[in-house]
Amino acid sequence: MNTEFSFLQNDNLLQDLKQYSLAEANALAKEIREFLVKTTAETGGHLASSLGVVELSIALHRVLSTPDDRIIFDVGHQAYVHKILTGRGKDFASLRKPGGLSGFTKRAESVHDAYGAGHSSTSVSAALGFATADKLCGRTAHTVAVVGDGAFTGGLVHEALNNIEKDLPLIIILNENEMSISKNIGGLARYISKIRSRRSYHKTKSITRTLLSHIPLIGKPLFRLARHIKKSIKNAMYGSNYFEDMGLYYLGPADGNNIEVVETLLREAVASGQSTVIHLKTVKGKGYPPAEEDPNRYHSVPPKGHVNRKNFSQALGETLLSLAENDPDIVAITAAMEDGCGLYPFAEAYPDRFFDVGIAEEHALIFAAGLSLGGKKPIVPIYSSFLQRAYDSILHDVALQHIPMVVPIDRASLATQDGTTHHGIYDVAFLSTIPEIRIFAPTTFASLAHYIKEGTSADTATFVRYPNAGELTDDSFARHGKTLLCQINREKTNEPDGYLLTYSHAVLEAKRAVGLLAEQGFSCALVVLEQLKPLPYSEILAILGTSQKPIVFLEEGIRTGGVGVTLYDGIRQAPTLANRSYTVLAIDSFGEGTQCESLYRTLGISAEDVVKAFLG
């Protein structure tokens, strides 16, 4: 670590943090911000959200003692400061690299990461579980869930809130940094909130509570009566709120970028003995002017050397604009991923036909089902790893009822930077089990546009998957039928020495494998599938022919239920293929990486693995 970061050089930072003066704690906050801006410029990462919770993270670790107490960050991309404070700053050069420091919380990485996360809205449920276990076991630990306002749009958060008992050692921090969840409650309410954020207020309150509680016989009832009267007066003056109506102790809203204020509220929450919601307002990107001015742009910054080029998400946005211009029934739905899925141009052009439902993929698809049955043509782009949350909606509410819609599946490939929580390697396997739907994997922007357009007039649900990448094939591939592409090197004979089958993002590794094989005098036909369900068996059999040349299927997806295994089950019924060598190279794990090694090599799906499968 650079010597300019004097606080971060301290190997006992977590222990010494509690003894720092307020001035020292603020100096540490400044240093952490400088460190985050400098390191993420090299590694990439979630910058704006981390900059917003610097003071909050410092206050949490000054009041609580992890790992005995637990801090659970929703999603986990707010946890960079937490990682630094718990001794992982020295590892930030490996952030979001295979085998390196995760961009999210990860239990295997540190005892201070109580719960792993990469997807949204899970923290309150997990924290409730921890707090309930502590109560049952008689432990004195506290559990804190730090939830951004975006995650509060996920229904899972509210399912958890509905199950919270009042007397748990549980603190929920609502970190409001972008959306206006709370109404403008007026000057009086802001003044009361300011008073409640002062140490003197809570010290007086604590003394009063202690004195009343120790009065024999009538003390505790008297304290409860006083608290009831205070709450009634407050509600009459400026209303109650969602959390208090659910029986939770509510503190805030308050300045979440003020260490002293946050510490005061945390200590009050701990002392109260109640399940508490602390509502904080923070500035996303705080301390770094470019991120403050444009937090969306700096939500996730690319690593050094990254070159922007047109990708499938942008191509989808262009396709939807083109289709919508001539078809007023086309509508677009997103689950809080307008920018990531390339929908911003559509939303600008057709605001009445664009719906952002928040982090609620299940709702998005059932909402789309209703729109479809109402005569519209819904298009619902969802990241592959996020689509997992909506399996029941796909099966029960869409496919079973034969409701047509188009679901573009974005980020359908290995997530080299975001890691295991974001790998888009399961969608083909879990969707293939559902009858009567269709799955396509375009390799060019033109084929993407074709399958999207064709899907808007189909009578069943159409899923179109693609990676976060540019076009995968070019004019060197000959198209066989509508959904099969082939590239055959016939330098030695009219019959290639082997056949390599693949689809989607694995095409890039497959092309490299063909080149490596050619260097060793092995002629390989590269066959690319663009239709994955139903599989075009007759077209595939026509290309494979009747020889006994070996077949290798390369798949950037999970093996069980994947295309490679499914295809083998189908084509082995052909007499000429029953005994033919057929090897499937696919993923058999969650996709953990190894430092300084290609993720493809670690998982056994690299070009070198293909060469080995053919040549031994």
Point out which residues pair with 240 in neighbouring strands.
none
Residues 6 or more apart from 276 whose CB is under 8 A from it?
A: 170, 171, 172, 248, 249, 250, 251, 269
**The domain containing residue 231 runs over which residues?**
183-240
| Residue 307 covered by a domain | no
Indicate whether 133 belongs to any domain.
yes
Note the pLDDT of residue 3.
59
Residue 180 has pLDDT above 50, yes or no: no
Q: Phi first, then psi: give them for residue 501, nearest 5 degrees.
A: -105, 140
Give the span between the Cα atoms of 169 and 167, in whole angstroms.
7
Question: How is residue 161 written in tokens?
Answer: 């809130």
CB atoms under 10 Å from CB of 165, counted, come to 14
Q: Is residue 582 part of a domain?
A: yes
pLDDT at residue 604 in the model: 98
Flag whether pLDDT at 187 surpasses 90.
no
Q: Averaged over 494-506, what is the pLDDT?
A: 95
- 355 and 443 assigned to the same domain: yes
Mean pLDDT of 228-234: 53
Mark whether 72 and 215 lie in a shared domain. Answer: no
- Residue 366 resides in a domain: yes
* pLDDT band at residue 383 using 50, 70 and 90 as cut-offs: very high
Residue 524, strand partner residues: 498
Is residue 44 within 8 A of residue 247, CB to CB? The reply is: no
Question: Looking at the structure, do residues 543 and 497 belong to the same domain, yes or no?
Answer: yes
Instruction: Band the pLDDT of 149: cuts 50, 70, 90.
Output: confident
Q: Is a pLDDT exceeding 70 seen at residue 167?
A: yes
Can you list the positions of beta strands (E) in 498-593? 498-503, 524-529, 531-533, 551-558, 582-587
- Same domain (yes/no): 136, 235: no
CB 73 within 8 A of CB 331: no
Cα(495)–Cα(36) distance, integer angstroms = 56
Q: What is the mean pLDDT of residues 327-356?
A: 96
- For residues 224-235, average pLDDT: 54
pLDDT of 150 over the 90 cut: no
Residues 224 and 267 placed together within one structural domain of the fold = no
Can you tell me the mean pLDDT for 217-225? Answer: 58
Residue 178's pLDDT band (boundaries 50, 70, 90)?
Answer: low
CA–CA separation, 104 vs 121, rounded Å?
14
C-alpha 265/C-alpha 507 separation (Å) is 54
Backbone angles phi, psi at 42, to 5 degrees: -90, -45
Last residue of a domain, one of 221, 240, 259: 240
pLDDT for the residue 520: 96
The verdict on residue 106 lying in a domain is: yes
Please answer whether residues 387 and 413 qualify as being in contact, where contact means their C-beta atoms are separated by less than 8 angstroms.
no
Q: Which residues are catalytic?
A: 284, 361, 389
* 305 domain-assigned: no
Confidence class for position 409, pLDDT limits 50, 70, 90: very high
- For position 192, what pLDDT does the model report? 39
Same domain for 331 and 455? Answer: yes
Same domain, 109 and 177: yes
pLDDT(551) > 60: yes
Residue 292 — pLDDT band, cuts 50, 70, 90?
Answer: confident
Q: What are phi and psi of 453, to 5 degrees?
A: -65, -45
pLDDT digits (tens, 9 = 90+) for 574-587: 887 888 999 999 99
With a cut of 50, say whether residue 495 has pLDDT above it. Answer: yes
For residues 408-428, average pLDDT? 96
Choosing from 405, 432, 465, the residue where a domain stops is 465
Question: Are 141 and 220 members of one domain?
Answer: no
Q: Where are the alpha helices (DSSP H) in 186-311?
A: 186-196, 199-213, 219-238, 242-245, 259-272, 289-293
pLDDT of 294 reads 82
Higher-pLDDT residue of 249 and 216 is 249
Please count the structural domains in the chain: 4
Mean pLDDT estimate for the chain: 90
Is 550 contained in some domain?
A: yes
Q: Where does the pLDDT of residue 118 fall: very low under 50, low under 70, confident under 90, or very high at 90 and above?
A: confident
Q: Are residues 349 and 485 in the same domain?
A: no
What pLDDT was estimated at residue 273? 92
* Ramachandran quadrant class, 273 (left: phi over 0; alpha: psi -120 to 50; beta: rest): left
Residue 260: CATH number of its domain: 3.40.50.970
Report yes or no on 74 lying in a domain.
Answer: yes
Same domain membership, residue 192 and residue 167: no
Least confident of 125-129, 234-238, 252-256, 534-538: 234-238
Question: In this structure, are residues 146 and 110 in contact, taking their beta carbons and an 8 Å threshold?
Answer: no
Which pLDDT does position 10 carry in this prediction? Answer: 92
Mean pLDDT for the stretch of residues 410-416: 96
Q: What is the mean pLDDT of the segment spanning 110-117? A: 95
405 and 485, same structural domain? no
343 vs 262: CA distance, rounded Å? 37
Q: How far apart are CA 257 and CA 69, in angstroms?
A: 22
Same domain membership, residue 148 and residue 49: yes
Say which range, 21-30, 160-169, 289-298, has the weakest mean pLDDT: 289-298
